[in-house]
Structure 1
């Protein structure tokens, strides 16, 4: 008998049987099901299984948290059920039948940004490191930077911009590629479209200033401004979708014999014209408006209220999947204002959820079975992956989740109140301090302590009153 054979058989029955499973796959820690009738699943009984650490429903998928042994569990489940697994992309596609319009839109945005996140995280860490060696004066009694006194570090500072520029200035290339990848159209056309948005022939978006003369393409009867879209998010997304739908249109109407020539030529040419003449300027205006509204909320006299509310509700947003919207906002803030005050609050929320789990570990230090779930969940949360902590521990009891929300709200209020800004999106937990702009690292460290101490203290206090041991 396999290690998880018994639990696999029970799980198959508890999700409604083989006939109720539309698709199944797994990720790093979870089994992911698309169920024909989600109401047939019994989360309570599933969570009672020894190998299961929690369940939740997100993006139309019923997800069962197994942990690091999920690959072994999945293999045994597949053998017992006779169901052949599919890719995560196929599961996501199948799951959209269980989602409303808003959920589908959020899922689409999440799928566009997911492949880009590793590069953005690397970029944030590199910018943070460059700021430390190039901006902080800690040499010669605090009068000079490391770059100023060392040729080696000066070279490192200059060389690392090669990566920073590639990741952030040329971000539209990644976005247009990701849109075509997600929508199943020709990816190289997406890359070429993105390159036309950041071509050196164009006025760099970062060079835009009041009164500057903007070059134009003059066609006689009409002029088109030669503006680049470096680091711009929404113009790239809109341009990418224009290309996708143009390609689909031309594929439908073009004879197969000339399709290889006509479809890419017409699709790309018209998409580039639309990008620079229509959707680019519109997207820039939309992105600027969104970022200015958020920035105003983060810098106004009511910023403490904005920060408190955001810090309090971010974890519930994760449950709904709406938190994926923040990626686009963060990137737009970075393009407009050279950094983001939103992302530090997200990192603090993750830390707070992990700290609530730490409180449960303390309360249940003699319970070996619970520690098998809570210790890995806590470590994972402190490294930026919150689902095992939230769904496997905090939401089961309720009060640890609320304790974390309170701690997150307080830490966020202090963070925004002290103008803490990150260079970019980073690792969403304790290592996130590496993405914070150097002048704010000390304050962010204080915020991290708040996000650790408050949830831990509240969880332990309430847990003791409830008699949890």
Structure 2
């Protein structure tokens, strides 16, 4: 819990503080920030933060990749900040910047669909399992058991407009309950019944083109988007004493008829067009379509444009009853799983092996971001091999005509949704993708980080002189008394999780450089500074505990990121007395964040130290 709390604080601090955040939400593995000014975010420091896999900037979003623990970190951020109201407070800032039409479109789609993907995927898998149970004659489709299970698996899809109304209302900043009422009108029982009736309907003499809107996607999104403008218009002219009643009334009165007359039919035409266009391209050459989708799907994921395909998949299932893209994409996912599993088997780097092992299971079940950013893309060659294997597996699946009968996240768990036409080919294609990627990585290899880190040591310590040991001395950046790390009331530092080091209880507010090197990180709040020495030691000096809460008050930075500094040069001044009077612990850890690369980190045995005196010895 404390680690999650500290991580959430560090993330908010490093994205430029709470005041720099317009909005934040999360998907399966990422915190997706929309920032006022991306230049205020410290991307380099975030990528070095324990618990953060990497940082990606695209589609107008500043994305912090956390992995499977992202929901816990997000909840902690919501508990520690006022960002629940960030969208309302910063409404005027929304849409500013040069993200482009494509970037904004991807942002809208991802914001609307990502919150409900879990429910869609879970219901899709359940729907597939139910189809399997029926095909095995384990239950009858007239039994009460089937009725209940079918309702459980089908309700998300049948009432999809209502789910989308909620998320779209959040994105377009409009009344969620009015949005749900609009969606409810689209799937109102009498309306659904009228679709199948032989008679025609009109509204004020205007013919109404009735469509079955259950499971539809685009009509409700268009409707809620228009609703946001209708509400803003009436909110500006209606007196506040009756605003809460009349604005929803006029929104319902205007938007629902317009949806039945315009947005609904237009949205349905768009959905039909997307489904027909994809089917036409797929039918031109299933082999080519499967190879391209299998090869480049994870590339689309990297750039965030994969969200644009979600409405197409849902439209396919809604209009023609199945989708051929989802099984192909599962080949791309299983290929990444095979590649990362091979890295786990082959790598001699303990840290990489552990990350690859945990990422393999997540990738098999469809969560590939930790795999891509933490392992395969970082090592480059495994990512390329996985794309090749994904292309081969995708081509096999496409040629076999595999289909998904319900939406689910591409991966092994989605197999039940492929039962039916081409199911055997789907299984064969997924096996090929996984095994081929694994074999390519095992046979062709990759640049193992263990081999790279071992090379300098081999040069510095040739076999003829194995007793030679190199050392780097770090001097104290402060005047004060020395303490061990485990005395610090901060588990992230005290446990040594961030690296070995020592704690100084300062007696003055002047912090100087402990080495000759480069300033790599200066936290916006000024409470922490990172330095890389000329010999490669990575040092983090964190003044006090939880002093990020001071938001820069009492800190005066004297250097910037990228500055070259000399040992003893002034880096920071801080008001020691004021920080203590504010109730903060001022004990300052000096951490060697890459201490795992050293044979040992030896500490001064003195009780007190002055700035510039011996503090640590790093043994290579």
TM-score, normalised to structure 1, is 0.81
Q: Does the 8 Å CA contact 1:60/1:95 hold for their aligned counterparts?
A: no
Aligned length: 443
* Equivalent residues in 2 for 1:68-107, closer than 5 Å: 86=83, 97=96, 99-107=99-107
Q: Does 1:263 align with 2:247?
A: yes
What's the secondary structure of 1:147's corresponding residue?
coil
- Name the residue aligned to 1:141: none
> For 1:121-169, what per-residue CA distance to the aligned partner results, in whole angstroms no more than 9, with x for missing partners?
23212321221122x2x4xxxxxx3335xx9x93322322223442222
What's the secondary structure of 1:57's corresponding residue?
strand
Range with bigger deviation, 153-162 or 30-39: 30-39
Q: Does the 8 Å CA contact 2:123/2:152 hold for their aligned counterparts?
A: yes
Q: 2:208 aligns with which of 213, 224, 230?
A: 224
Q: Does 1:54 align with 2:54?
A: yes
Q: 2:321 aligns with which of 312, 334, 338?
A: 338
Q: Does 1:241 align with 2:225?
A: yes
- Name the residue aligned to 1:127: 127
Q: Give 1:196 shift.
A: 1.1
- Name the residue aligned to 1:172: 161
What's the secondary structure of 2:388's corresponding residue?
helix
Q: Equivalents in 1 of 2:61, 2:85: separation in Å? A: 11
Q: Give 1:242 shift.
A: 2.0
- Name the residue aligned to 1:292: 276
What's the secondary structure of 1:426's corresponding residue?
coil
Aligned pair in 2 of structure 1 residues 5, 186: CA closer, same or farther (>3 Å)? Answer: closer
Q: Equivalents in 1 of 2:60, 2:7: separation in Å? A: 24
Q: Does the 8 Å CA contact 1:112/1:175 hold for their aligned counterparts?
A: yes
- Name the residue aligned to 2:114: 114
Q: Equivalents in 2 of 1:75, 1:276: separation in Å? A: 38
Aligned pair in 2 of structure 1 residues 333, 105: CA closer, same or farther (>3 Å)? Answer: same
Q: Give 1:222 shift.
A: 3.0
- Name the residue aligned to 1:435: 417
Larger RCO (CA within 8 A; separation ≥ 6): 1
Aligned pair in 2 of structure 1 residues 201, 453: CA closer, same or farther (>3 Å)? Answer: same
Q: Does 1:396 align with 2:378?
A: yes
More strand by share: 2
> For 1:85-114, what per-residue CA distance to the aligned partner results, in whole angstroms no more than 9, with x for missing partners?
845975998796553331121111111112
Aligned pair in 2 of structure 1 residues 239, 86: CA closer, same or farther (>3 Å)? Answer: closer
More helix by share: 1
Q: Equivalents in 1 of 2:18, 2:202: separation in Å? A: 61
What's the secondary structure of 1:201's corresponding residue?
helix
Q: Give 1:25 shift.
A: 7.1
Aligned pair in 2 of structure 1 residues 176, 309: CA closer, same or farther (>3 Å)? Answer: same
- Name the residue aligned to 1:22: 20
Q: Equivalents in 2 of 1:70, 1:448: separation in Å? A: 28
TM-score, normalised to structure 2, is 0.63
Q: Equivalents in 2 of 1:53, 1:387: separation in Å? A: 9
Range with bigger deviation, 267-276 or 63-72: 63-72
CA radius of gyration, larger in: 2
Q: Equivalents in 1 of 2:204, 2:41: separation in Å? A: 66
Q: Equivalents in 1 of 2:75, 2:153: separation in Å? A: 41
Q: 2:306 aligns with which of 323, 346, 370?
A: 323
Structure 2 residues not aligned, in runs of 5+: 452-620
What's the secondary structure of 1:421's corresponding residue?
coil
> For 1:28-55, what per-residue CA distance to the aligned partner results, in whole angstroms no more than 9, with x for missing partners?
7667664835498564x86567765433
- RMSD (CA atoms): 3.9
Q: Does the 8 Å CA contact 1:246/1:267 hold for their aligned counterparts?
A: yes
Q: 1:385 aligns with which of 359, 363, 367?
A: 367
Aligned pair in 2 of structure 1 residues 276, 21: CA closer, same or farther (>3 Å)? Answer: closer
Aligned pair in 2 of structure 1 residues 369, 73: CA closer, same or farther (>3 Å)? Answer: farther
Q: Does 1:193 align with 2:194?
A: no
